[in-house]
Structure 1
Amino acid sequence: MSDQTADQPGISAGIIVQGDRVLMVRRRVKEGELMWQFPAGAIEAGETAEEAAVRETQEETGLTVEAVKPLGERVHPKTGRLMSYTACIPVSGEAHVADDEELAEVAWVAHAEIPTYVPYGLFKPVQEYLDSELAAAG
């Protein structure tokens, strides 16, 4: 892997909507309260947050996606890591557990089911994006 500096690299998450569902993954190792989340991983040297979201989604789920637009960033309240969120659209492939060391399962989650998967709520710009995308599809 790349050299780790004193500052941890930022994490980039892909927010992938297909039809009336959003792709979520369940990690093998829980991060605090985080059980279900979006495909995500460290931004590598020389990589943009959007590129990292596309790469991590491919590595973790086997799904090829295209970055559409950045949704924002924040310091995650549960992990303390800098998080970037990127809206992506599926281009090819089927989502599955491609990295079984990191993931336990993947799920396409309906709008109404999101609070069951993420009971503490989503980052506001992500929630607003999903509200508009999934409500329009539903």
Structure 2
Amino acid sequence: MAIIVRDGLVLMIRRREQEGKLLWAFPGGGIEGDETPEEAAVREVAEEVGLDVKAVRVLGDRVHPQTGRHMTYVACEVVAGEARVADAEELAEVAWVAHGDIPGLVPWGLFAPVQAYLDDALTPTS
């Protein structure tokens, strides 16, 4: 899963069909062949939302409690492009989401390392 922050917002996708209880999620998908999690995140972002990103660092991995699938979370930075629904078969919508709006989309909470990263990246410093 790619965690992409830009201009104080994080990119989320709404799937056409729920996966377990998941409807809103971060862009991402399966690792193909000999890909690293970072390479898979970069490829999936291009395929799903049409953005060119670079992987910055792995935030952590786990077996997702809602889907039972192994997930690796990768912080990414936008290199070029504008987010859009590039894979209309899988995605219904893309949205840049404010920190305070995440709980409304993911009510059971985020994976702790992802939450900590977003708390730091999305919370304005005064």
TM bucket normalised to smaller: over 0.9
Q: Does 1:40 align with 2:60?
A: no
Q: Distance in 2 between matches of 1:29 and 1:95?
A: 20
Q: Does 1:61 align with 2:58?
A: no
How big is the shift at 1:19?
A: 1.2
TM-score by length of 2: 0.97
Q: Distance in 2 between matches of 1:136 and 1:127?
A: 15
Matching residue within 49, 74, 85 for 1:97: 85
Identity of aligned residues (%): 63
How big is the shift at 1:105?
A: 0.3
2:112 corresponds to: 124
1:1-138 paired onto structure 2 within 5 Å: 13-136=1-124
Question: CA 1:96 to 1:137, structure 2 compared with 1: closer, same or farther past 3 Å?
Answer: farther
Q: Deviations over 1:43-71 (max 9, x none)?
A: 01110000000100010000111000000
Question: CA 1:65 to 1:137, structure 2 compared with 1: closer, same or farther past 3 Å?
Answer: farther
Q: Distance in 2 between matches of 1:66 and 1:38?
A: 15
Question: CA 1:91 to 1:82, structure 2 compared with 1: closer, same or farther past 3 Å?
Answer: same
Task: Tell me the secondary structure at the aligned position of residue 68 of structure 1.
Answer: strand
How big is the shift at 1:94?
A: 0.2
Task: Tell me the secondary structure at the aligned position of residue 40 of structure 1.
Answer: coil
Q: Deviations over 1:100-127 (max 9, x none)?
A: 0010000000001000111110000000
Match of 2:65, as an amino acid? P
After the TM superposition, list the runs of 4 or more consecutive aligned residues in structure 1 that deviate by more than 2 angstroms. Answer: none
Match of 1:15, as an amino acid? I
Q: Could you list the runs of 5+ residues in structure 2 that have no partner in the other structure?
A: none
TM-score by length of 1: 0.89
